[in-house]
Each structure stands twice: as structure tokens, then as C-alpha cells.
Amino acid sequence: MAHAGLANLARAQIERFAVSPDARVLQFASLSFDAAVSELCMALLSGGTLVLPDETALPPHVTLGEAVRAARATHVTVPPSVLAAEEDLPAGLRTLVVAGEACPPGLVDRWSAQHRMVNAYGPTEATVCAAMSEPLSPGAGQVPIGRPMANVRAYVLDGFLQPVPPGTTGELYVTGPGVARGYWGRPGLTAQRFVACPFLPGKRMYRTGDLARWTDAGELDFVGRADAQVKVRGYRIEPGEVEAVLATHADVDQAVVVARRDGPGERRLVAYVVPASPDSEQLAVRLGEFTAARLPDHMVPSSFVPLDRLPLTVSGKVDRRALPAPDFAGRVVGREPRTAAEAVLCGLFGEVLGLDRVGVTDGFFALGGDSISSMQLASRARRAGLIVTPGRSSRRRPPNASRLWHARPQPVRRPSPTTPEWAKCRGPP
């Protein structure tokens, strides 16, 4: 890192975050995390105070509100996942900065009216921060990461390093005084990530590995990680795009989407959501309808798992490895079968979905089913002696054993009286 990058960072953040000599900046980030450099520089280079609390005076030992009150902090920078667990922040907090993860619109709606709220973005390789939003306002929809800060340029490029038009997703590259010289002792990785800038002769740009797009207003929207794509049923899916759609739902505070395989069959998309209110009855159904109306079928999660809060790493980011497996067995509430056909179909449901029991009125998609497993189910039903014909179903009206198929016993096939004897058991001579 060059000293010029730190000076540029401090100057830009002091101005955007409105840091003055009477400011008290809470040192929230661990000193081993790059965000700590931002907190230190903005406080000390503005003449303000940097408050260094004890570890036990920060989340998760206390709430964020309690930490801010104890420090009498006027400025704090936190990941959105930490802010999502907060219910009350003191009025003395002037500036609230979110960084490190995509910020859900619900957090902006909740906090931006009372505090100066800014969404910041930047990799460590660009000296902590490369872009910042203007102070945010409620009701703005998807939260942008803003524009490049002073003396920084950002490019959204395709695989041939050509700029893509507004609204089109590409990989984000940044250049400016904050771009590092490279990785110590790793020349190969340095050459891969720090590349020549085709738009500024003699300059280098950093390949962030993040996907972004320009808005018509000239701001950047964060889409997700280029290396976070998952493959489900042969489709390449960017989980961040699904998360962005879920985050716009009024009943969702936070959303994380992962691809996982917890039973038989292929990997499935699972959405973990923190409801905006305790009354989350039928939330999974509503979210299924909501995403089905806005996304292609292969991008609609097969399951929606409500959580009180998302698990976090020590740095305050979502710990995706700690997300629990969906409890499909706990969702079985349907009635027992009454007919032989219903009994067979419920048994086949359980075989395909890996469940011990399935009720007649339990939803196929709600229990982890998808289009591939529905075809497997139809095949097994035919082998069990049932003729199956598709019933009317969709993600808006999830199929269950009573209406996914119309089933009837398969008639025994007998040779026609006019069929020659040789054709009854073998091909023509």
C-alpha cells in the first residue's frame, strides 16, 4: 500500500461521513481487519476522537446500541448483518456507515431517516474503500454502492475488458492512488489481479472479482461475487441476484441464498430470511409467489428458511457455513392418505424427497421438491402401476399428492385377438 492511498481514503471519508473535530469514532472493526484503518484515519486525521472499547463492550457481548451509547460515539461503521440485529440506536449517533456486505433496502428504510447513512464499498487491495453512496433516504429500493470516491475510477467490463452499457452486469475494476502494488511474495496472483488499464496508459487497475452494473443515474449497484456462481440443475445462478430480489420484499429484513445438497437429488437453492416482523406465518408461501413473479423458474429457491438472525463470523459478516439445513420433515403436516393411490403417492413422495412420512396435502416444493425430482416421482409412480397425468400446479399453487397428479391404476396390457401369435412375445422373424 502507498501512503497516497491512505491520504486519499481519509480525505474522501472525512468529507462524505461528515467527520469533524468533535466527532467520536467507534473502533468497531478488529485491528486485523482493513476497516480498522478507515476508522483510525478518519478519526485522527480530522482531529476527532477514536474510541477503543474493550472486546466485551462490542457485539455480540452487547448490542450495537449499547456499545454506541457507552462510547458516546457519533460515527460507526458496521456490516449490515450486525445492524440488522439492532432495534435501537441513540440519537447522538450522527453517521451510520454500512460496508462489507450488500445492504438490504429494509435497513435503509429503518435507519436513514434518523441518521446520516452511507453505503461504502471497497476491497482491501484498493486501500479499504473505492466507492461510496450519497447519504441514503428511505424508499429508494436497491441500495447502490454509489460512485467512485475522489481520484478513483471504476470500470464495469466484460470478459474482453470492454465496458458494458448501464443495466448490464460485468466485473468491476478500480484504479487510483489506493490500488496496492501487489501481493507480497506472490507474483503470479499479483499478475492475475493487478492488470494494465486499457483506458489510462501506464496505469494499473485492480480486478475486484465483484459483479456490478451502472445505473442510469451513474451509480454502481453491487450484484455479487464473480466466483460465487453456483450451478443448479444445469443453470449457472448468481445467488446475489436472488438475494437482491428477496431484499425488496416488505416482510424481509435480510436474505441469504445458498446452493446445498442435504438429501437425495441435485443441489437446491435455499433462501434464509430474517422476517421484518415476528408474524411470519405463510411467509415462505408469499416469498415463493414473490420470487416466481420476478425470476426465472430455475432461480426461485426451493425452500425459504426463516431465522431470528443470521449467523455471523468474528468480523461481523454472514457465516454461510453455519446456516442450518432446512427442516423439511418438520413441515410435514398433511393428512394421512385415504385411498390406495394416495398411499402409493405419499410413499413415493417420501422416497424421492428423502422423508419418512409425507401427508396428502403437503406441498411438493415446500418439502424441497423441484422439477427434476417431480420427473423422478412420475417415473416411479408409473413403475408402481399408476398412470399419472400432470395436474395444474405452479409455484404460486404448489403441488401436493392430491393434485400434482391425477392417478389411476394402470390397466393390464393384453395382446389383441387379431395379433399374430409370433408378435405376442417377440419381434418379427
Domain boundaries, the chain: 3-225, 232-326, 330-388+402-409
pLDDT for position 121: 96
pLDDT for position 152: 97
pLDDT for position 393: 44
Helix 283-292 vs helix 239-247: crossing angle, to nearest 10: 120
Please determine, looking at this structure, whether the domain spanning 3-225 carries the CATH number 3.90.79.10.
no
Q: Distances from the Cα of 405 to the Cαs of 147, 366, 388, 401, 412, in angstroms?
A: 53, 17, 6, 7, 20
The alpha carbon of residue 386 and the mean position of all alpha carbons in its chain are separated, in whole angstroms, by 41
Please determine, looking at this structure, whether the domain spanning 232-326 carries the CATH number 3.40.50.720.
no
DSSP label of 228: G
pLDDT for position 200: 95
- Residue pLDDT tens, the chain, 429 long: 889 999 999 999 999 999 999 999 999 998 888 899 999 999 999 999 999 999 889 988 889 999 999 999 999 999 888 898 888 999 999 999 999 888 989 999 999 999 999 999 999 999 999 999 999 999 888 999 999 999 999 999 999 999 999 999 999 999 999 999 999 999 999 999 999 999 999 999 999 999 999 999 999 999 988 877 787 766 778 898 899 899 999 999 999 999 988 765 567 899 999 998 877 668 888 998 999 999 988 898 988 999 999 999 888 889 988 999 887 666 677 788 888 888 888 888 888 777 888 887 777 766 767 655 665 676 677 777 766 554 444 444 444 444 444 555 555 555 445 444 433 333 343
pLDDT for position 171: 96
- Residue 428 corresponds to which cell in the numbers above? 418379427
pLDDT for position 398: 45
- Residue 388 corresponds to which cell in the numbers above? 399419472
Task: Tell the residue number behind the cell numbers 413403475, with chain if given.
Answer: 383
**Whether residue 420 has a cis bond before it, omega within 30° of 0:** no
| CATH superfamily for domain 330-388+402-409 | ACP-like (1.10.1200.10)
